[in-house]
Amino acid sequence: MLLIGAGLLLACFQRLQAGRPGFEEGNLLTAQLSLPASRYQPRDVDPFIKRLLPQIRSIPGVVSAALASHVPFSGDSSAGVIMAEGYRLAPGESLISPYRVRVTPEYLRTLHIPLLSGRDFIDGDNAVRVAIVDERLARKFWPDQEAVGRRMFTPSNPGDPTKPAANRTWITVVGVVAESRIGDVVVVGAADRIGTYYVPLAQDPTRSLTLALRTSRDPLSVVPEIRSALSAIDPALSLESVRTQ
């Protein structure tokens, strides 16, 4: 029994060692912060971000910084049902709910998630709904085709969820990135098998934010300066779950 248990443990450890997270872990720091609803409305999130990120990026040793709804392996995740224009479900196939991550520009650059085609988000991505999909989701919806320029929508037609409702909002794919793990290094969940899509945080703000920053020195050495930058904007806010990747 002990030998069997040890063998299984070793096999799991080898799978973890062989697993590729899809982003570069070195010199990457993450931390969580929450904006209280009593003082921050959804419209206040974007102005807050535009004040905070420039200050953090100006800290010596910070190479890049971004904010997201959640980051890989944080224990927090979000999924959203999505459908591609023209996609037809096979018999017995169900709607899919991939990981959905809300990010600011520079998030992909900060985590070193490779951009395979198209472009990254820009500050002007506010008027038109856009998304970046990972290669796994791109293969699901558009096998052997270019995903950039294609459209997706949130199913809301009760008669046929594969058909866009009259009042639907189109989401245009502007980029495709390499696959990266959200929940675990080893694929264990249905969402990991389906993929991930990213949307601009400015288009769907959240008060629960995760800071991600890449440094050229020890990531933990910049934490006091980050706290000072945050305090200069709002002394009542604090960083939580500060850790390196």
Distances (CA, A) of 127 to 9, 104, 148: 51, 15, 18
Cβ(194)–Cβ(98) below 8 Å:
yes
Residues 6+ apart with CB under 8 A from 105: 66, 120, 121, 122, 123, 125, 200
The answer to whether 27 and 212 have CB atoms below 8 angstroms apart is no
Q: Is residue 24 assigned to a domain?
A: no
Per-residue tokens: 49: 């971000």
Residue 22 resides in a domain: no
The Cα–Cα gap between 244 and 230 comes to: 19
pLDDT confidence band for 123 (50 / 70 / 90): confident
Nearest alpha carbon to residue 49 among 240, 242, 230: 230
125 found inside a domain: yes
pLDDT for res 31: 95
| Residue 6 located in a structural domain | no
Does residue 10 fall inside a structural domain? no
Determine, yes or no, domain membership for 17: no
Q: b/e for 85-116, b at 16 or more Cβ within 10 A?
A: beeeeeeeeeebebbbbbbbbbbbebbbbeee
| 61/151 Cα distance (integer angstroms) | 39
The parent domain of residue 40 ranges over: 29-244
pLDDT at position 67? 96
Please report the pLDDT score of residue 65 as a whole number.
96
CA distances from 14 to 18, 56, 204 (A): 6, 37, 39
Number of domain units in the chain: 1
The reported pTM is: 0.84
Least confident of 88-97, 126-135, 189-198: 189-198
Considering the domain boundaries, does residue 80 fall inside one? yes
Higher-confidence position of 169 and 165: 169
Q: Is the pLDDT of residue 137 over 70?
A: yes
Decide if 9 is inside a domain: no
Which pLDDT score is estimated for 186?
47
Q: How does pLDDT run across 35-86, given as a tens digit for each residue?
A: 999 999 999 999 999 999 999 999 999 999 999 998 776 555 567 889 999 9
Would you say residue 1 has pLDDT above 90? no
Averaged pLDDT of the chain: 86
Q: What is the pLDDT of residues 170-225, one digit of tens each?
A: 999 999 999 986 655 445 444 445 899 999 999 999 999 999 999 999 999 999 99
Mean pLDDT (whole number) for 103-126:
92
